[in-house]
Amino acid sequence: MAFATGITGIQNMAPELPLQASEDLLSTPMFNLIHSFGVDLHHAESYVGQTTRMSRFERLSTDGGQLDGSGIDPSSEVPVRTDIDAKMEIYAKSIVTNEQIIIWENSKTLTKFTALLGGWLREKEDLLMRDLFSSSVSYINCTGGLNGDQPSNISLNDVNNIENILLGNDARSMLTSLEATNKFATAGVRDAFIALCSTNLSSDLQKVQGVLLKSAYPTQEGIRPEEYCSISRFRFFVSSKAARTPGISLKGNTVYTIPMYGLEAAAKIEQNNYTAVIGYRPPWVVSSVAQNSQLYAKFAIARAITNQNWISGLNVTTFQPS
Amino acid sequence: MAFTLIDQQTFLQPATAVTQYIGCPSGCDYFVSTNLTQMATTNATGRVVRGEWYGGGLFADNDGLRWTKTNSTSGINIDNFSTTTASNGFTYVPIFPAPQAALTGTTITNASPAVATVTNTYSEGDQVIIYNAVGMQQISGMSFTISSVSSSGFTLLGLNTPGSAATAFTVRKVAPVMPVLPQTYQITGITQASQGVVTVSQVHSYVVGQCVEFSIPASCGMVQLNNFNQPQSKPPIITAVTAYTFTINVNTTGYTAFALPASTLSPTAQLFPTVAPQGQNASYNPITGVQTGYNFLQVPFHSGLFIPYMILPAGLLSPGGSGGDRIVVDIYKMERGTLNSPVPS
């Protein structure tokens, strides 16, 4: 009797399922959310219209006012109120899933998609606030850099110019000071306004005279991961999705805008009970043959620049075109 | 599933046709424009009566299928907008900002208004950014609304005698407005008057009763208008408007004259002078019965641009049609994705 011989290995008997899922999903990219945390948060009630009004009384005149003893009263003053209005708008995103995905995808797709929609909510809100800053704020071209472009790359003089504008307009700083500690290579950080810029500017920020990188702060406690450095009276936060317009500088390079502001410069208004709605529509609702289900996310937001005096910013290019 | 008709819109071109921007609420995989006015005529020069656009990267920007009537007949020819003789076609814009390809121009006059010479395919009312303006660098990077557009140039009604002429420049067409309104504008002139008149480089959306704040670098003069120089820092209020100008309740007679800096000061001079919205000051006087207006459409901060959108340029051989044309557009969506892409757009 002859016996069949040979060793059975993966060379002559391939695995039935030549792949397996790792124990966990890889990270879904999410950009730094920098455009919302520095603005005032207001809330809109239901049933009272789509537009929210924020009002401010302008300060009274300090001219005159002395009583001269004659019994004649100083003139009275009519207060001036400035109204800032913002219209509520709704944004939504949905994912429609066929039942075959759910039947044959052995992992929990609905859970994963819900998490994706949650990420979309925060990212979309951040971009909407970015658009507000890029549309409705006055920016000044940097001129102190040496790249010969218009606007130039960022310089200390340009940053100080914005500080002058904000201080001249009586803006209040956003962040409290970080007291110096007895640690090598660290320094105290003054109370500061905030500045929001593109990650493409990180190498230029490092070269600005007097820059204090985040690692040189006296403490890392409570410092946001999006923060990059401190220059003069500004603490810079970076995001890959910060505002930019390609190809419009004097030399045809990308122009980046850096909003720089203090307290109560801008506002985000949330609609009560509509700040983050995530829902599920079952197959028998979405599809006539019950094959597609739907996940959705939606939110309402209104946004406004509440005080132009307390926000300014810079148009910049990079030292080397990017 | 076949294309689903998501939306249908119609517009009537004004006497001088302008570029139309059609918002696409659910995106767009197939877009059709039908010129009802020209469909009923047989012009000697031939006209576009229908345009088609497919998504999924099948067409380059400013292209699509062009249905034209043969001269003086109702016979139909079909080709691409990019086919000779080329004309402007569809451009689908899903993001902001989206500067279009750069064009190189030869001159901008130092006149009132300034006139730019550049071979172009732009339309009346388009927004452009001009940069690298040799001899007129004080406007490099500035946005403009263009008018009196021909294939060889356009007029900048928001720029009056800027101080020197440009001998070369580059220009890009950009989105019609910023994503959020009311927006910031760049200033090209301010008069010295009992009520100063401000000229901006674009057709603006400000209304009477609206408050504004100025940011004027020292290189432009009239820094007295900057907020911190105003009494009590009160924002100026707009009292009258035209397309490119608005009047403010500030007596600028004694202020330093406003002038854009010389080109030679670029890039070291601080640019640009700008004006930004600062709420509104509408009021009602019950004694006189006078209401200082309030405009719910313009004054509150709101989205200025619905994204994504389709650009329909104006023109006899373009999907936007010519003056007085009635045009219907159909916006279709394919739920399985585009024709050459499995991923829904």
CB pairs under 8 A between A and B: 168
Contact criterion met (CB < 8 Å) for A136 and B179: no
H-run or E-run covering B333: strand B326-333
Query: Tokens for B191?
Result: 């008069």
B293: in domain: yes
pLDDT tens digits, B10-57? 999 999 898 999 999 888 899 999 999 999 988 888 899 999 999 888
Residues contacting B91, CB < 8 A, separation 6+:
B61, B62, B100, B310, B311
Closest chain A C-alpha to B295 CA, distance in angstroms = 11
A27: in domain: no
Q: Report chain B residues whose CB lies below 8 A from the CB of A59.
A: 232-233
Provide the CA A257 distance to its chain's centre, in angstroms: 13
Picking from B96, B266, B278, the nearest residue to A150 by CB comes out as: B266
The closest alpha carbon to B51, from B333, B345, B313, belongs to B313
What is the domain range of residue A91? 40-52+81-135+268-304
Q: What is the ipTM of this complex?
A: 0.87
Question: Quick one: average pLDDT of A162-175?
Answer: 93
A161: in domain: yes
In terms of domains, do B9 and B56 share one?
A: yes
**Is A77 an interface residue toward B (CB < 8 Å)?**
no
In terms of domains, do B61 and B83 share one?
A: yes
B341: in domain: no
In terms of domains, do B186 and B285 share one?
A: yes
* DSSP string of B246-288, one letter each residue: EEES---TTSPPP-PPPGGGTTTS----EEEEEEE---EETTT
A68: in domain: no
B344: in domain: no
In terms of domains, do A122 and A260 share one?
A: no
pLDDT tens digits, A185-211? 888 889 999 999 999 999 999 999 999
Name the pLDDT band for A281 (thresholds 50, 70, 90).
very high
CB neighbour class for B37 (10 Å; exposed up to 12, middle 13-18, buried from 19):
middle
The closest alpha carbon to A95, from A297, A245, A232, A271, belongs to A297
**Is A301 an interface residue toward B (CB < 8 Å)?**
no
Q: How far is CA B147 from CA A220, B153, B202, in A?
A: 55, 9, 11
In terms of domains, do B189 and B217 share one?
A: yes
Residues in chain B: 345
Picking from B141, B266, B296, the nearest residue to A248 by CB comes out as: B141
Specify the residue for token string 């109370």: A191
Does A319 sit behind a cis peptide bond, omega within 30 degrees of 0 on the bond before it?
A: no
In terms of domains, do B297 and B197 share one?
A: yes
A18: in domain: no
What is the domain range of residue B165? 103-174
Question: Quick one: average pLDDT of A220-249?
Answer: 93
A14: in domain: no
Contact criterion met (CB < 8 Å) for A136 and B184: yes
Domain boundary among B141, B156, B174: B174
How many domains does chain A divide into? 2
Closest chain B C-alpha to A235 CA, distance in angstroms = 23
Backbone angles phi, psi at B311, to 5 degrees: -95, 125
* DSSP string of A161-186, one letter each residue: HHHHHHHHTTPPPSB--B---S-TT-
pLDDT over 90 (residue B194): yes
Backbone angles phi, psi at A259, to 5 degrees: -70, 135
In terms of domains, do B138 and B166 share one?
A: yes
Closest chain A C-alpha to B66 CA, distance in angstroms = 31
Dist. CA B147–CA B142, nearest whole Å: 16
Using only the alpha carbons of chain A, give its radius of gyration: 28
pLDDT over 60 (residue A1): no
pLDDT over 70 (residue B336): no
Contact criterion met (CB < 8 Å) for A136 and B277: yes
Helices (H) and strands (E) in chain B, counts: 1, 27
